[in-house]
């Protein structure tokens, strides 16, 4: 099973409505939890299966203007790492994919609705790259895969020093904002 539903409603937390908060947590986190619970009813008796969840790099590092989205993706990481340990005894594998930005309608929405500049630090990758990450996760039984791998390495390293994250963020946002403007220009062509 592949959990791939997700929404984003970009905004500073102070500007988030309760409806926006609830919608993002219901779709991004509870949707994956509920679907996984249902498929486990089939996989456990069969003593096999693989649950793959498409999360986001925002599940590893914070994204300003997307605090609730980030929280939902951090929650997915904790939940599915725990599930990978719990379901091992049933021969069920669990993998989470952490993509950097992907060229989808959601990214276009985010670009035109005040999304986080951090989303645009790297060039958007094709959905096919994420399919390749899913296949790799299944074939190699990997609990976590970042796409691209370089973004995952940087994200994991920087999160070892939370104080450094807050110091570097203004620079990263400035760089991301420049790329975001380029991305928006490309959308308009």
By annotation, the residues acting in catalysis are: 69
The structure tokens listed for 187 are 């959308």
Q: What's the Cα-to-Cα distance from 42 to each of 51, 138, 159, rounded to whole Å?
A: 12, 18, 37
Distance CA 122, CA 101 (A): 7
Distance separating alpha carbons of residues 94 and 32, to the nearest angstrom: 12
Structure tokens at 170: 């203004």
CA dist list (Å): 2 to 52, 130, 186 = 5, 12, 31
């Amino acid at each position: 099973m592949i959990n791939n539903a997700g929404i984003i409603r970009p905004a500073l937390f102070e500007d988030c409505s309760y409806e926006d908060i609830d919608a993002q947590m219901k779709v991004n986190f509870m949707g994956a939890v509920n679907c996984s619970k249902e498929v486990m009813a089939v996989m456990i008796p069969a003593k096999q299966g693989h649950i793959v969840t498409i999360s986001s790099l925002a599940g590893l590092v914070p994204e300003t203007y997307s605090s609730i989205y980030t929280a939902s993706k951090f929650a997915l990481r904790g939940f599915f790492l725990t599930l990978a340990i719990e379901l091992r005894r049933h021969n069920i594998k669990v993998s989470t994919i952490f993509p950097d930005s992907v060229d989808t309608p959601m990214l276009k929405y985010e670009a035109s609705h005040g999304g986080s500049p951090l989303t645009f630090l790297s060039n958007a990758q094709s959905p096919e790259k994420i399919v390749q990450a899913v296949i790799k996760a299944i074939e190699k039984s990997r609990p976590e895969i970042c796409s691209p791998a370089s973004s995952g390495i940087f994200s994991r390293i920087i999160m070892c020093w939370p104080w450094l994250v807050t110091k570097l963020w203004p620079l990263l946002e400035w760089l991301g904002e420049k790329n975001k403007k380029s991305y928006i220009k490309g959308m308009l062509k």
